């Protein structure tokens, strides 16, 4: 009976929060229209830049010519060799884990074909999950090979055979749109969670709530569930845009996708409730949210690969749940990864939730007006 009474109180609080969110027609438009518009804007207009290309080399020729070609890659400002492999099968782990953007395979007959005046092919395997950076890296490889061909004259032509994993056509929106499932959700979740308690404080009703039979933990749960539900609903809306408008094929499990999004939204709600608990009014909550959201998005790996950031910033991204949510969503959506594959990314997101949610509960009771 006590458990049923608890559920009844939580249901009442959640219904109250949802009514506050949706009772204003303007709020309903804000929760739907911007998500749709931003989905189309990012799908059509967003682009990336590339300044760092980690790669692995499989040189089966081991000749002077192959070493000379590899030296041109290593001598460029953008390419950084991460490992020298014995076979292309070993490259799968490097690309899958994101440690290498591409793998270059030079066949055993490379030097023999060039010295006999024939065309010699090299294979370049690209990580198509980040289609724009893969396309740029492909252009860089082509430029270096062309300069190498020019240096050796017409009798030693080398051609490139490209192969992209996870995104065969290297379409930019295949990389951007799955990331929007998490990136757009975090904005709405943090805003809704941040405004929930701040609104109560501003209207003078929060102190009245604290003297009700509801405990701080029950208030915390009741304030967290509605933003999480709205965030997951918006993610589902973006998913429909990806599937039926942009026709981006879904490779994984919808259950795995929404489990990872659920863990992510839990950490986002904790951050938003902390912001709300320390804000005296709605204006402060909005300012704190935007100050928090901008660094989180910039440090998530959405626009710039985390590996290209300075070491100090790479360490700072471990406190950013959006970074790991993007890895989970893209892995499930594009690669067909399972929960076992993406489970390590749950740890930092759950750690953020484990810190922020109890902190928000403590602030509810102890924060001075």
Residues 6+ apart with CB under 8 A from 148: 68, 69, 72, 158
CB count within 10 Å of CB 277 equals 27
Which two structure tokens, joined as six digits, stand for 77? 């400002």
Instruction: Give the long-range contacts of residues 252-259, CB within 8 A, separation 24 or more.
Output: 252/331, 252/332, 252/333, 252/335, 252/336, 252/337, 252/338, 253/332, 253/336, 253/338, 256/332, 256/337, 256/338, 256/339, 256/342, 257/181, 257/329, 257/332, 257/333, 258/232, 259/339
State yes or no: pLDDT of 191 exceeds 80. yes
State yes or no: pLDDT of 368 exceeds 60. no
Provide mean pLDDT across the span 297-321. Answer: 80
Categorize the per-residue pLDDT at 45 as very low, low, confident or very high, splitting at 50, 70 and 90: very low
Categorize the per-residue pLDDT at 349 as very low, low, confident or very high, splitting at 50, 70 and 90: very high
Least confident among 112-121, 317-326, 359-368: 359-368
CB count within 10 Å of CB 240 equals 11
pLDDT tens-digit series, residues 10-24: 777 777 777 766 676
Which two structure tokens, joined as six digits, stand for 49? 């830049």
Q: Quick check: 267 and 350 in contact, CB under 8 A?
A: yes
Q: What pLDDT is recorded for position 97?
A: 77
Which two structure tokens, joined as six digits, stand for 21? 């969110």
Identify which has the larger pLDDT, 58 or 173: 58
Instruction: Give the long-range contacts of residues 27-35, CB within 8 A, separation 24 or more.
Output: 31/188, 31/230, 31/234, 32/237, 35/184, 35/188, 35/234, 35/237, 35/238
- Whole-number Å distance between alpha carbons of 147 and 86: 26
What is the pTM (predicted TM-score) of this model? 0.62
Categorize the per-residue pLDDT at 47 as very low, low, confident or very high, splitting at 50, 70 and 90: very low
pLDDT tens-digit series, residues 170-185: 566 777 788 888 888 8
Mean residue pLDDT of the chain comes to 79
Q: What pLDDT is recorded for position 80?
A: 84
CB count within 10 Å of CB 4 equals 8
- Whole-number Å distance between alpha carbons of 229 and 9: 18
pLDDT tens-digit series, residues 273-292: 888 888 777 777 888 888 78
Provide mean pLDDT across the span 96-103. Answer: 82
Least confident among 80-89, 151-160, 169-178, 186-195: 151-160
Q: What pLDDT is recorded for position 369?
A: 45
State yes or no: pLDDT of 1 exceeds 80. no
State yes or no: pLDDT of 226 exceeds 90. no
Q: What pLDDT is recorded for position 88?
A: 74
């Amino acid at each position: 009976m006590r458990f049923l009474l608890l559920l009844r109180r939580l249901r009442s609080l959640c219904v109250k929060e949802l009514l506050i969110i949706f009772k204003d027609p303007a709020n309903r438009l804000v929760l739907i229209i911007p998500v749709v518009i931003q989905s189309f804007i990012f799908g059509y207009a967003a682009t990336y830049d590339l300044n760092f290309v980690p790669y692995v080399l499989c040189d089966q020729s081991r000749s002077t010519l192959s070493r000379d070609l590899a030296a041109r890659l290593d001598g460029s400002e953008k390419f950084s060799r991460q490992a020298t492999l014995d076979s292309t099968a070993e490259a799968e782990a490097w690309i899958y884990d994101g440690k290498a953007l591409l793998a270059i395979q030079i066949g055993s007959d490379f030097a023999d074909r060039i010295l006999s005046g024939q065309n010699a092919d090299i294979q370049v395997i690209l990580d198509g999950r980040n289609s724009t950076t893969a396309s740029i890296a492909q252009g860089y490889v082509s430029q270096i090979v062309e300069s190498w061909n020019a240096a050796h004259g017409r009798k030693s032509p080398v051609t490139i055979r490209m192969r992209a994993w996870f995104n065969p056509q290297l379409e930019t929106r295949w990389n951007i749109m799955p990331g929007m499932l998490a990136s757009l959700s975090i904005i709405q979740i943090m805003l809704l969670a941040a405004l929930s308690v701040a609104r109560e404080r501003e209207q003078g009703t929060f102190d009245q709530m604290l003297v009700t039979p509801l405990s701080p933990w029950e208030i915390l749960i009741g304030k967290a569930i509605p933003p999480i539900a709205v965030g997951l609903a918006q993610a589902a809306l973006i998913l429909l845009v990806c599937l039926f408008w942009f026709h981006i094929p879904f490779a994984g499990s919808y259950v795995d996708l929404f489990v990872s999004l659920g863990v992510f939204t839990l950490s986002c709600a904790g951050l938003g409730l902390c912001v709300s608990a320390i804000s005296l009014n709605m204006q402060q909550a909005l300012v704190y949210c935007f100050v928090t959201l901008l660094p989180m998005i910039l440090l998530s790996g959405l626009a710039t690969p985390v590996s290209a950031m300075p070491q100090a910033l790479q360490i700072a991204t471990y406190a950013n749940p959006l970074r790991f949510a993007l890895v989970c969503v893209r892995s499930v959506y594009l690669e067909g990864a399972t929960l076992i594959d993406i489970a390590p990314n749950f740890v930092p997101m759950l750690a953020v939730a484990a810190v922020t949610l109890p902190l928000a509960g403590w602030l509810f009771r102890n924060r001075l007006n």
